[in-house]
Each structure stands twice: as C-alpha cells, then as structure tokens.
Amino acid sequence: MSSEALKRATTLEDVARVAGVSRATVSRVINGVRNVDPAIQDAVRQAITRTGYVPNSAARSLVTRRTGALALVISGSDAPETPDHHVGGEIFADPFFGRVVSGVFTGLRPLDLHPVLMLADSAEARDKALTYLRQGNADGAMVVSTHSRDPLPAQLLAAGIPTVLFGRPPTPLSLSCVDLDNREGGRIAADHLHARGRHRVAAVSGPLGVRAARDRLSGFREAMADHGIHQLPHVEGDFTREDGERAMASLLRRYPDLDGVFAANDLMAQGALAVLAEHRRRVPEDIAVIGFDDSSAATAGRPHLTTVRQPVEEMAAEMTRVLLDHLARPGRAATTVLFEPTLIERQSA
C-alpha cells in the first residue's frame, strides 16, 4: 500500500490482494474458466477497475503459447530497391493489397486478433520474416505469394507454422490455400470478346513467373483457340498501370488493326485505356478492352471497364477463416478453396 508506487504496472497479484482472493481466482474471473462465486466475481471485477489492471500479454503468451497476432506476409518477387522508390511501393500501391487487407480485417473483426504486416521481397527479408514467425511472434501466417519460385511457403511448412496461402503454389504443398480459378477467368474473357465479334485480339499478361498470370493467359488462349483463333499477339506486363501503357503502345505499333485486348488485371487495362485514348481509338467501338479483378481501377476512368471479377475481399476473408480453423483444430488436413470468377459487364467490351 505504500504510495509512490514507482509506476510499476499493476499485476494480477495486486488485484488479488485488493480483492482478497488468490491470483488463480482473479485469473479465472478474467478468462471465464470454471465457476466462480458471483460475489467473488464482483469483488474481483471491482478490484480490477479500481486498480486499472490490464493483463500483460507477454506473460500470458509465455504460458498459453498464443500471441493474438496473425502475420500477413506479402512475399513479392525480389524487388530492386531503387533509391527514389519506397519499400514495397508498387505492391502497396496496387488496389489488390488494400482489398486483401480489407478482407483480412473482415475475417478478423469478431476476434481479438490483429494482423502484423510483413514484406518478404528479398531473401533477407524472407529470412527475417521466417525468424520472426519461428520466434512465435504470431500464431500463424497468411501468405500472399506472388512468385512461383518463392521458397517461403515450403519453409513455413517445414517450420511447422500454421499457414494459409493466397494463390496455389506451383507445386502442391500440404498447405491450405485460397485461390481463384484463373484459367476459367481467362476463358471468360475470351468468350466475351469473341461473343462481341472481336477476332483480332491480343493479350497483355502478367509476369509469367506468377502462376495466376500464366493461368489467366492459358485460359484465354485455350478459349480463343476453341473459337478458331490461334494467332494471339501477347505482351508480358508486370501488373502495373505503367506497364499496361507500355504494352498497349507496343501492341498498337505492331498490330494497328487490333479490335480487342485482354489485360490480366485492371491496372494494366486502365493503362491500355489511357494509351488508346491518346491514339484516338474509341473503346469499345474500335477496340474492346477487358480487364481482370474488378478492382477500383475498373471504374476509375472512362469508359468503365468490363472485367473478370476476382472477389479478393471474400477470398482474403476466407483465407483468414481457414487459418483460424487450423489454429482451433491443429492437425487438420490442408484444404484448397477455389473461387469462381465472374464477368462484370460494363462499357469497355
């Protein structure tokens, strides 16, 4: 009781003393385990408010082996760090990132869990992230892994860290994942372009090191072949708007009579639209453009993009749910949840 308590944070012990019970009882009241006499419960609660007690989560974690944090790892391709560019700038600028975060929060909101963000865009960063996770700083990991050769998923698996992937890995791992049927998405785009009577079409794909990009392209190609179109100009982009502009310009130069373009994401489609406008091509009259994602970029410019929707928020929320499930019941088999793309018809195609 000696005042001048020197700022020592109040502990369970203090509360117990004030309430006149044992530490164990206070703990029971706080965690709601077992029956505790209502009168004592009251006393404890009063003591808690009186002392302003807040449990120390490090101490709690030490014994429960739970932290209340989930890692959200953005495991990008090794980005060259240009001096004027900020860390992960391109990744974080992509609407995709915000949608994932939003979905994760949707899945986490009801619980008392928080996402800790990690950027694994280099071997060094990946090691750091792995170490961090190994140290038990988070209960599990959600990994948005863009590149095919990313070793992180396998490392997490080996380390025994509960993990769920956004996007299937190139070679199956016994890790749960959530993904879109990208091939089918590509097919949808092709079918739509074909139904609109476009026969001189081209594709702006994403980086072919990314499985989703390859799948979208091959789905598109397959369906186009089904429609009898076998020649398919193709430029590889990097999913940025700037690259969409560059790709469209190059396509236009080489194939001036194009009447349809499929871009593997909305950002690149938006870039294509801008270049087309500069070239005075009317969309969709002269040339139809179809995007992918249905992100905010789809309705940012004019005309609004017709696009293949990827329900990123739902997928991220599902990824979170799956991870929570694994945490709740360890040893559960890995599952893959596949989402179906849908066509969102707007004005550009």
Partner DNA sequence: ACGGGCTGGGAGAGCGCTCTCCGAGCGTGC
Partner DNA sequence: GCACGCTCGGAGAGCGCTCTCCCAGCCCGT
Q: Which chain residues interact with a second copy by CB under 8 A?
A: 54-59, 61-62, 65, 67-69, 72, 86-89, 92-95, 97-99, 101-103, 105-106, 109, 112, 114-119, 128, 131-132, 134-137, 241, 270, 274, 277-278, 296-297, 299-302, 313, 317
Q: Which is nearer to a second copy, 108 or 201 (CB)?
A: 108
Alpha helices in the chain, H assignment, sequence order: 12-19, 23-31, 38-51, 57-64, 89-93, 95-108, 123-134, 152-158, 182-195, 211-226, 241-254, 266-278, 312-328
> Partners of 143 in the beta sheet?
73, 165
- Smallest distance, DNA to C-beta of residue 20, A: 7
Binding partner of residue 345 among DNA, a second copy, none, CB cut-off 5 to 8 Å per kind: none
Binding partner of residue 33 among a second copy, DNA, none, CB cut-off 5 to 8 Å per kind: DNA
Write out the two tokens for 96. 């995709």
Binding partner of residue 93 among DNA, a second copy, none, CB cut-off 5 to 8 Å per kind: a second copy
Binding partner of residue 293 among a second copy, DNA, none, CB cut-off 5 to 8 Å per kind: none
DSSP element (H, E) containing 263:
strand 260-263
- Smallest distance, DNA to C-beta of residue 24, A: 3
Q: Which is nearer to DNA, 56 or 335 (CB)?
A: 56
CA distance 118 to 111: 21
**Cβ atoms 69, 57 nearer than 8 A:** no
**Cβ atoms 26, 16 nearer than 8 A:** yes
Contacts to DNA from residues 32-71, by CB under 7 A:
33-37, 40, 53-56, 59-60, 62-64
CA dihedral 188, 190, 192, 194 (to 10 degrees): -150
CA dihedral 40, 41, 46, 49 (to 10 degrees): 140
For position 274 contacting DNA by CB under 7 A, the verdict is no
- Smallest distance, DNA to C-beta of residue 57, A: 8
Q: What is the torsional sign of CA 81, 206, 210, 307?
A: positive
Task: Name the packing angle between helices 12-19 and 23-31 (round to 10°).
Answer: 100
Contacts to DNA from residues 10-39, by CB under 7 A:
11-13, 20-25, 27-28, 30-31, 33-37
For position 333 contacting DNA by CB under 7 A, the verdict is no
Q: What is the torsional sign of CA 161, 76, 73, 187?
A: negative
- Smallest distance, a second copy to C-beta of residue 316, A: 9
For position 131 contacting DNA by CB under 7 A, the verdict is no
User: Which residues of this protein are in contact with DNA, per CB under 7 A?
Assistant: 8-9, 11-13, 20-25, 27-28, 30-31, 33-37, 40, 53-56, 59-60, 62-64
